[in-house]
Amino acid sequence: MDKPRIALFAKAPVAGAVKTRLAPLLGPEGAARLHAALTRRALATAREANPAALQLWCSPDSSHPFFAECAARFACELRSQRGADLGARMAHAFEANAPLVLIGADCPSLAASHLAQAWRALRSNDAVFAPARDGGYVLVGLARPAASLFEGIAWGRGDVMSETRVRVAAARLKCVELETLWDVDTPEDFERLRASGMAAEVGA
């Protein structure tokens, strides 16, 4: 377990289907370009962590040309997400691949050091999370599958992390939390991206 196993969940960058809360500010095409750029940045961050395995879990499947581009550029394995909602899809990813650290595509504040820290945490813990400022989380790592953490969660609401803590306690899992990070979903998040100086890195 010296080198991490990392999975990234990402949607195909289709205008009107991604970053919809940013479409009024950037337009549907601009929001899709931002999503693609953030996905590339997340893959570059994951690759910087020198993983033993890097998986790109694609939605709705892996057929979009963008995913083939990512596989060639970042040497990642393409997988298709499976499940009725985000929780089911994450549970499926862990079922066959744990121990695993799973991240989303929209957290430019996530660094390779966070991934390394999360992987180290799994040596002596059942779970690790990096909470998000909006009440969700941007990273979850599990030493073994734990489907109960993902069932019946109202994804996209501001109480996802707090509800997950309740699930962790009920399952009697030993868990650690990393520092709270920010992701990019709203116009306010986009302004934070520009203020951080990262906007140019993702073509925003």
Q: Which of 66, 79, 65, 61 is nearest to 8 (CA)?
A: 79
Instruction: Tell whether 94 is covered by a domain.
Output: yes
Closest CA to 118 of 107, 128, 105: 128
Q: Considering the domain boundaries, does residue 204 fall inside one?
A: no
CA atoms within 13 A on the CB side of 194: 6
CB distance 70 to 47 below 8 Å = no
- Residue 197: predicted pLDDT: 73
Q: How far is CA 48 from the centre of its chain?
A: 16
pLDDT at 196: 82
- Predicted local distance difference test score (pLDDT) of residue 204: 55
Both structure tokens of 66: 């963008």
Cis geometry, peptide bond prior to residue 99 (ω within 30 degrees of 0): yes
Residue 57 lies in a domain: yes
Is pLDDT larger for residue 201 or for residue 16? 16
Q: Which residue's structure tokens are 């009024």?
A: 24
Instruction: List the CATH number of the domain containing 90.
Output: 3.90.550.10
Give the model's confidence band at 67: pLDDT under 50 very low, under 70 low, under 90 confident, else very high.
very high
- Give the model's pLDDT for residue 2: 84
pLDDT higher than 70, residue 32: yes
> In total, how many domains does the chain have?
1
pLDDT, tens digit, 9 for 90 and up, residues 134-170: 999 999 999 999 999 999 999 989 999 999 999 999 9
Please provide the average confidence, as pLDDT, over all residues in the chain: 95
Domain hosting 88: range is 5-199
Could you read off the pLDDT of 114-127 as tens digits, one per residue? 999 999 999 999 99
Q: Report if residue 100 sits inside a domain.
A: yes
pLDDT at 150: 97
- pTM of the complete model: 0.95
